[in-house]
Structure 1
């Protein structure tokens, strides 16, 4: 059924009755009211007229051949295009049971036959006014929702830009990691897209998940903004005390993002960003930090980021290590499958490794 715009602003009233005399009387009443009548002798004819142009109100007889008014009303109310059109039953069957049945099916009123012209006129006017007000309210709500959604998107975009700037500042503490965040974001999205085709992950990895991880994974190390530069830039291995300070960045990063999320709970990417920030140093066998989570207790977003983050770190030169070749890095990832990394994610990662992106500063 096609929802066609009615021409002009004059309301169209659909009259459905198999008795010609009733059609003529009701048609004249509607014309006298200044509205446009459209007449049908059956539910089938009425359906064709509705497909051409939606009426603003329907006057519907109950007893008709082929399909009675009750069944036709029920079908109209089941259709999302026609369910809001007000229906007034006009019938000789005007017992309490008949009226209750009509109202239960979604009719707005019930006029008994023989009907009075004044009664039909007043009830049609009243229900048209109510329908018009409902349509105006719905339009206002849609406009309001559009404005609110636009504002929410703008706020989220501004938050994203600020957080990216913070994350870039963190990255800037180590001159060897200039493109690390871009690499991680790109490869997390690519890996998530690939996992979508695996039966093991198809239900959890939606298009929304893919879009979100491309944003959220970029913030995985945002907590390092609170880590002293002399520790991050130290050549060679860290002392135990220094390592404990570095480990704090996962909780510090999650805390930064949680504070922002508390003020804007409608944000779409922060919940995943918090997961990744907190758990991107977890390990499949439970030997990671901060909470020694293991296996699938580690959120999927973090399990993806763990593989991608370490792979990109292996490929790049750091103040504490040389750069590994791609072959060496892939071998390390493969050897870590089932201990450091989710083995099913590693299997997919190795299949798409030729598509992975790495740019070094």
Structure 2
């Protein structure tokens, strides 16, 4: 069934939600089986290791670039029409929000996407932290924290009324994005081989990147046949977490890609963990652990909304289309996470989970 037929049968809004659900299920299965986690990769790197977690992150990031740039080369997607590229970006938001998000994901022991995946495997700590993240994200979008976020984001914005295309800004040919992705994927495979990572884990790591491409291509296809404007977007969890929360709390909320994405990730992760025999309930170890996790979730909620996306939204989805502010936010997330690990966790030398 093509997109036009789907829209004719169920309507534009349900079609968008269904595409979000599909993207989310693929992402959830792949992320759960590959144990993809930016927080774990940054902690591993901060401790001077290029281990399996760094290899998985590099492979996910690089394959997302390859899938997305390949789709663009085939005419299945146009990056300039992506929402992250079509609107002004905030350099100040990327720096401040990225640093806060990096701090938060170390404190919470997982980025927002990872918390959602873990919540579906029975991790009650991630359930509570994810709810705090979603509430603070909504507060930062249209609640008490919105004015603060707007003020910080307005300090330094991109010029020209749109985000910066790094490839165009550097004067590189369009195919350079695909070549870059292939080069990083080769590096990831070298690191993976040194750490003796199994083939299935690598396939699922690539599957996370494939889910990002599915989101971009499917929403682009929908935008070409829909009567009303449809945002061209893909996997990210700051805005969608807030949107999903409001969908269940406010009966005036509408169906959209975001509302399908979050439940899709939950369903995919649950199925993957259940079939693998890995579903089990877990809680907070103690009060200090709970306080730390909830503080980190709040930092991520505000930081992610200020940065224009989470570790997935900026670090994989935005990075795959070479959005300037996404790459800066990703860099700042790495810096914030590594500094927090050095100052907070390495005193006790806790191993990354």
Greater Rg by CA: 1
| Shared fold (TM-score, shorter chain, > 0.5) | no
Structure 2 length as normaliser, TM-score?
0.22
**Higher RCO structure (Cα 8 Å, ≥6 apart):** 2
Structure ranking higher in strand proportion:
1
Structure 1 length as normaliser, TM-score?
0.22
Structure ranking higher in helix proportion:
2
